[in-house]
Structure 1
Amino acid sequence: MLKTTALSAAVLAGMLSIAPAMADQQQPETDNINDVPAGNYTIDPLHSKITWGVDHYGFSHYEGQFVDLSGSLRLGEDPADSNLKIEIPLDKVLTGSDLSKHLQGEKFFNSAEHATATFTSTSIEIDGDDEATITGNLALNGQTHPVEIDAEFNRGAVYPFDEKYHIGFNGEATIKRSDFAMNYLIPEDDQQGISDEVTLHIEAEFVPEKGQ
């Protein structure tokens, strides 16, 4: 009986010593996208946002944000064989002023009729360990047009405050308001106004889908 108990304890101790090593292999700390475990991930809305910017009459490069993003990333064994979808609630535009309500109106995002903008990837081209070009379609204000995101993988690791595996990316893109039927105050000829061109800076963190 004592021998059996001792053997069981030894086996248990061995399993416990192996478990952390296996967990480290399944959730590696890495800055190489090729080392991140394949699978389904969901966006972490607490640590994800899109910052947009426009030229405001030549006075400033005015910026605002979209928050409370949702979406998913299916990461393939080959990262190029992946799919990304991001949903942007247009009533969550932040400017720090009453301008937020104005932007939700008919002259801009028209969020009463089109509450959400959606980006859906169509192809992903990997460049090295941490960069990619993500091509996809952006549906916004009843219009859909192709958009290209220059993306960079930042890091994959266990986040100590929720003990979940996080993977983080940033990206840059440029769109035109006129492509999405938002022509209000776009300058003509030598006049000043609000630029047609809009810069987008994306910061996004993803965690493994529940049950994975």
Structure 2
Amino acid sequence: MKKFSTLLALCLLGSVSVFAGNYNVDTTHSNVGFKVKHMMISEVSGKFDTFNGSFEYDEKTKTLKSLNGKIDVNSINTANTKRDDHLKAPDLFDVQKYPSITFSLDKVKGDKAYGKLTMHGVTKNVILALENNGVVKDPWGNTRVGLGLSGQLNRKDYGITWNTALEAGGVAVGDVIKLDVQLEGILTQ
């Protein structure tokens, strides 16, 4: 009877792991975007063109188990070369000293993702809204998972403080950065 109990326990544990899978972020179908107030009257959008990541997702429970991502800050793209060059400069992102932004998931609770975001040499705990878009098989037989992460942070919390006062009042760049990350992962074999 003891052997049967051990075998049953191993089968149950094995069946749980059958549904969990490791995924690599498909960067051609993913986006790491942001928005920030400009001159207090509009928002400027941007994105990072170069990033990578991986995550573990349990199909049975439809739960994100882990997520790690890395962004190449030098790939910032706001569709304006002059602005992008300034964003990379020492008074803002300082890409020579801080070339990457990283995120590591700590836990998921309901529709919230809790993790650590490191930017400009500073690590902070963040809470992001998590959108679970589910699992599909693509036409080539690959299993894919879609996830969305959104939220906001204060750039000054990460030591990115540059700004210019406007003659009419206010500042050139807002402090609050809105994040919009759309990830599509492919199950690794």
The amino acid across from 1:208 in the alignment is L
1:73 and 1:57 mapped to 2: Cα distance? Answer: 37
Provide the rounded CA distance (Å) in 1 between the counterparts of 2:130 and 2:65.
14
Residue aligned with 1:107, SS: coil
Q: Which residue number corresponds to residue 140 of structure 1?
A: 119
- Kept in 2, the 8 Å contact 1:54–1:199? The answer is yes
Greater Rg by CA: 1
User: 1:197, CA displacement in angstroms?
Assistant: 0.6
Q: Name the counterpart of 2:157.
A: 179
Out of 77, 85, 88, the position equivalent to 1:94 is 77
**TM-score, with length taken from structure 2:** 0.81
1:106 and 2:106 are equivalent in the alignment: no
Counterpart of 2:40?
Answer: 58
Q: Which has the higher strand share?
A: 2
Distance 1:134 1:186, change over 3 A: farther
2: CA distance, partners of 1:203 / 1:67: 13
Report whether the alignment pairs 1:191 with 2:170.
yes
- Name the % identity: 23
**CA shift digits 1:22-60 (9 cap, x unpaired):** xxxxxxxxxxxxxx9311111111111111111111231
In structure 2, what is the Cα distance between the partners aligned to 1:186 and 1:79? 46
Residue identity matched to 1:83: S
Cα RMSD (Å): 2.1
Q: 1:81 to 1:97 in 2, by over 3 A?
A: closer
Retained in 2: the 8 A contact 1:173–1:201? yes
Equivalenced residue count is 168
List, as ranges, runs of 4+ consecutive aligned residues in structure 1 with deviation greater than 3 Å: 76-81
1:116 aligns with 2:72: no
Whether the 8 Å contact between 1:71 and 1:86 is mirrored in structure 2 is: yes
Query: How big is the shift at 1:69?
Result: 1.9
Which of 54, 57, 66 is residue 83 of structure 1 equivalent to?
A: 66
| CA deviation profile, 1:158-182 (whole Å, cap 9, x unmatched) | 222x542111111211011101110
Displacement after TM superposition at 1:85 (Å): 0.7
Deviation by residue 1:55-100 (Cα, 9 ceiling, x = unmatched): 1112311110112321111224655571111111101111111111
Does the CA-based 8 Å contact 1:186-1:196 persist in structure 2? no
Q: Name the SS of the counterpart of 2:183 in structure 1.
A: strand
Give unmatched runs, 5+ long, in structure 1.
Answer: 1-35, 127-131
Report the CA distance between 1:149 and its aligned residue.
1.0
Q: TM-score, normalised by structure 1?
A: 0.73
**Distance in 1, Cα, partners of 2:142 & 2:181:** 21
